[in-house]
Structure 1
Amino acid sequence: MTIRSAVVLAAGEGARLRPLTKHRPKPMLPAATAPILEHVFDALVDAGITELTVVVGYGRTHVQSHFGSTYRDASIEYVVQDKQLGSGHALLAAEAAVSEPCLVLNGDQLVAKGIIEDVRDAHDGGAVATLGLIRHADVADYGGVILDDDGDVAELVERPRDDRSYRLNAGIYAFEPKLFEYLRGPEPQLTEYSLVDGIANAIDAGEPVRGVESDGLWIDATYPWDLLDVTETLFESDADVEHRVSSDARVHESATVVEPVAISADCVIGPGAVVGPHVALGENATVGANAVVERSVVDADTRVGSNATLVDCVTGRGVRIGAGSTVVGGPGDVRVGDRVHEDEQLGALLADRVRDGGGVTYAPGAMVGADAVVTAGATVRGTIDGETEVR
């Protein structure tokens, strides 16, 4: 079936990625040097999609101002989900824009073009929806799917805990407009309208729902340290990631760049600095003289001072890391909300516009909120709230 349009769900915040999502939504966080959502758009356009309907909500101006009305000759229409009441509610917000079979994807998960093509090609109109599935070692934190012998979806289970043979729901769907009626009822669970619940409603009503198993790149960044894994996976995959130094970057002749790296336009790498491997530098980032940056995602407009060391580090935008400061690298214990994640490979997370005065040591797993100030010579451990001063 020829499907030329897609609905991309990009309205959520990504609460488990705080404090990085305090000022922008999860789909706009960096995967290497480009927003996650840009990678999603690339996969769709490469698969032949020419019309994009993007459901925005939290931080929507970040999405709209970045992409505008077109992306690589594909048109973009925005619809707003005023309250984040689940993926089904988000898709319902786009109902007026859907008049024929369509794809729907999550805007905060990276997927291979081939998975999208497999779902599109398998959808023939005989089913109300077709789901993209992949084999995955652990589906416990995601959605599991049980297929019957004919390849139809028999059951959908969120975060399954039993030992049945599940496929992972990759969050890629082809669907008929008729699906909208099943998104409205029965009553939603926990006051949210889940897309998965809507599909389950269709199955309960006797509608055929198909599953197509595929393989290829599928990555979800759930927690801040996952951005390091996402970038590393992109480097190691066949995805079109810039394994290069931009022609608009300035790298001192005595600096060392260890591939793979992605170094954006207007970056400056000073004398004697070592950058890489597995480092992504956003636009206008600066690495000072004799600084070392390894396995890190350094976002736009960040300054790394001379003789500083960053290992397993994630920064937001506009961060200032002083001379001689050290992120020693993971593993470390990281608190997210009321849960402590043990031995995660995170040296430190420094959210937007953190400032340190130099000579600061960040213990493994340190998380510093946006606009915090760390005075010279301090040692940072644990979670630091935004807009605070650390002495």
Structure 2
Amino acid sequence: MQTIVLAAGEGTRMRPLTAHTPKPMLPVADRPLCAHTADAAVAAGTDELVFVVGYEADAVREHFGEEYRGVPVAYATQDEQLGTAHAVRAAREHLDGEFAVLYGDDLYDPASIEQLFASRPGIAAYRAENPSNYGVLDTDGDRVVGVTEKPDEPETDLVSAGACVLPGEAREWLDVEKSARGEYELTDVLDRVFAEYEVSYTPLDRWMGVGRPWELLTANEWKLADLERRVEGDVSERAELRGPVVVEEGAAIEPGVVVEGPAMIRSGAHVGPNAYVRGATLLGERVRVGHSVEIKNSVVMAETHVPHLSYVGDSLLGREVNLGAGTTVANLRHDDKPVKQTVKGERVSTGRRKYGVVVGDGAKTGIHTALHPGVVLSTGARTMPNETVDRDR
């Protein structure tokens, strides 16, 4: 069976982190987001991976190549993002039998994907706290007979998680009409599959879509929590590693550093001296953390520098960011309410009581900059020394 991995989107709600990187290639622990999806498909026994690419497609091709973990890889290009059926249709020429569709910007628990692949044709289901925000499955016993999109009064909390395994015949059913949203929807293809086949559902033990920056934090919290301690880099005898900490080969930890897991320090990163890293933190490749810096529950992407005497909490820093000495991130509102962030021009609650900042690639702060909770610094943004920033820049 072949597996289509949808990885063509830019991820506009994830800006500025996607200015140069497609959303499915953003880091989650030791690999890109969509690599977790690919790994789940490989573990479940797929015979081929077909990546549907578009925005910054070369990043996907360079990472996965022509073979990934012993499984051949093919690519299909979706030049315009016109819906999920449109994306799958882009891969049609590669399909020659039963096929699965997985989303490259979702995280699934691998055991459930294995069960889904064994139940074909089938669809992944999840019990949601707010089912009216999703497509709710219509069932007849164990059989799925339809999907009702975002009903006001859902009859069940069982929602579609998007992932599915379709019969080979569905390859010819992808030429659907545009929906009211102006997109070619895979749900219209599923309607025909439901009508002509007995389709079962597989409940996912765990699943999340990663569409906004704070969800990338949550994704890293999930995957970093699964770490097993592994120390391959150069760690000073006077440094202390507590709990599940991974220090990759080529990383260096200076004297006086304390790292509390779960944490991952990737190849080429340099930490210390006297730095404090804690709380589900990812330090990407060639990151530099200086003297007496504290980083807590954050994602710091490749080649970013956080020099001495700075604090970064519950934040996402893009690639090649440089924080001036003494930069301080505030991550808690005084009224204790959830922090809000502007996404595509709209103020949105992150649902997180503690949440810091999002900093785009190449941004720089002057010394002693103070950043308020929920602030976004765009790609290449600058702050002046001693500046307090309480609005996006």
- Where does the alignment leave 5 or more consecutive residues of structure 1 unmatched? 124-128, 385-391
Cα drift, residue 325 of structure 1: 0.2
CA distance, structure 1, for counterparts of residue 228 and residue 163 of structure 2: 18
Distance 1:197 1:256, change over 3 A: same
Counterpart of 2:225 in structure 1 is: 236
Q: Quick one: which of 171, 174, 183 aligns to 1:180?
A: 171
Counterpart of 1:388 in structure 2 is: none
Counterpart of 1:355 in structure 2 is: 364
Cα drift, residue 237 of structure 1: 4.6
Q: CA RMSD in A?
A: 2.0
What secondary structure, in the 3-state scheme, does the structure 2 residue paired with 1:216 have? coil
> In the alignment, is residue 70 of structure 1 matched against residue 67 of structure 2?
yes
Cα drift, residue 21 of structure 1: 1.4
Q: Mapping of 1:364-383 within 5 angstroms?
A: 364-383=373-392
Cα drift, residue 274 of structure 1: 0.2
Give the letter for the 2:185 counterpart.
S
Q: Mapping of 1:1-391 within 5 angstroms?
A: 3=1, 5-123=2-120, 129-149=121-141, 151-203=142-194, 206-237=195-226, 243-330=245-332, 331-342=338-349, 344-345=351-352, 346-384=355-393
Greater mean deviation of Cα atoms: 230-239 or 302-311: 230-239
Q: Is the 8 A contact 1:112 1:217 kept in 2?
A: yes
Cα drift, residue 217 of structure 1: 3.0
Q: Is the 8 A contact 2:44 2:117 kept in 1?
A: no
Instruction: Render the CA deviation track for 1:118-156: whole Å, top value 9, x for unaligned.
Output: 111111xxxxx411112222334333212112x222221
Give the letter for the 1:322 counterpart.
G
CA distance, structure 2, for counterparts of residue 209 and residue 340 of structure 1: 43
Residue-pair matches, total: 373
Distance 1:65 1:255, change over 3 A: same
Instruction: Render the CA deviation track for 1:90-130: whole Å, top value 9, x for unaligned.
Output: 1011111111111111111111221211111111xxxxx41
Question: Percent sequence identity over matched residues?
Answer: 31
Counterpart of 1:126 in structure 2 is: none
Q: Is the 8 A contact 2:131 2:156 kept in 1?
A: no
Q: Is the 8 A contact 1:152 1:208 kept in 2?
A: no
Counterpart of 2:335 in structure 1 is: none
Greater mean deviation of Cα atoms: 349-358 or 212-221: 212-221
Give the letter for the 1:225 counterpart.
W
- Where does the alignment leave 5 or more consecutive residues of structure 2 unmatched? 231-243, 333-337
Q: Is the 8 A contact 1:326 1:361 kept in 2?
A: yes
Cα drift, residue 18 of structure 1: 1.3
Give the letter for the 2:140 counterpart.
D
Greater mean deviation of Cα atoms: 240-249 or 93-102: 240-249
Q: Is the 8 A contact 1:133 1:211 kept in 2?
A: no
Q: Is the 8 A contact 2:52 2:87 kept in 1?
A: yes
CA distance, structure 2, for counterparts of residue 238 and residue 141 of structure 1: 32
TM-score normalised per structure 2: 0.90
